[in-house]
Amino acid sequence: MLLRLNHVALAVPDLMAASATYRATLGATVSEPRALGEHGVTVVFVELNNTKIELLEPLGDASPIAAFLAKNPKGGMHHLCYDVADIRAARDHLVAAGARVLGNGEPKIGAHGKPVLFLHPGDVHGTLTELEEV
């Protein structure tokens, strides 16, 4: 079902400072910021040869990233994202196996313009897991 690691998401308290670190200090290519109102975040992607790093900053006080940063003020790893061929088939398989899909269970459009779902971290050994259809 899982095809490859799509990205590792890091919550950061200051998106511009984190972008500058990846761009200037680490020499990486960093995308322009993009606000995702439905997800409550502003994101940039650090492009690597084999995957991406997604840097997330809260978009408003109700953002799930704001709650994460309240517990982890310096930021940290927020979730892993894996590619899947058919997100609804993956969801149905996982739900049948006892996994919980966050939200209403229906895919939302993610930062790459493709359908995404999140799995409860308690069902994936403590790691918030995103699935993205490719």
Each residue's pLDDT tens digit, 102-134: 999 999 999 999 999 999 999 999 999 999 999
The pLDDT assigned to 89 comes to 98
Which band of pLDDT confidence, cut at 50, 70 and 90, is reported for residue 16? very high
- Does the annotation mark 132 as catalytic? no
What is the residue whose two structure tokens read 């997100």?
87
Query: Cα angle at 60 between 54 and 64, to 5 degrees?
Result: 55
Please report, for the chain, the start and end positions of each structural domain, with discontinuous segments joined by +.
2-133
For residue 58, the cross-strand partners are: 41
Residue 71 CB-density burial (10 A; 0-12 exposed, 13-18 middle, 19+ buried)? exposed
For residue 56, the cross-strand partners are: 11, 43
Structure-token pair, residue 91? 């969801």
Which band of pLDDT confidence, cut at 50, 70 and 90, is reported for residue 6? very high
Average pLDDT over residues 25-31: 97
The pLDDT assigned to 7 comes to 98
Which residue of the set 57, 130, 132, 133 is catalytic? 130
Q: Using one digit for the tens of pLDDT, what is the confidence trace for 54-110? A: 999 999 989 999 999 999 999 999 999 999 999 999 999 999 999 999 999 999 999
- Considering the domain 2-133 in this protein, what is its CATH number? 3.10.180.10
Q: Nearest 10 degrees: CA dihedral of 99, 102, 106, 108?
A: -130
54 contacts 8 by C-beta, under 8 angstroms: yes
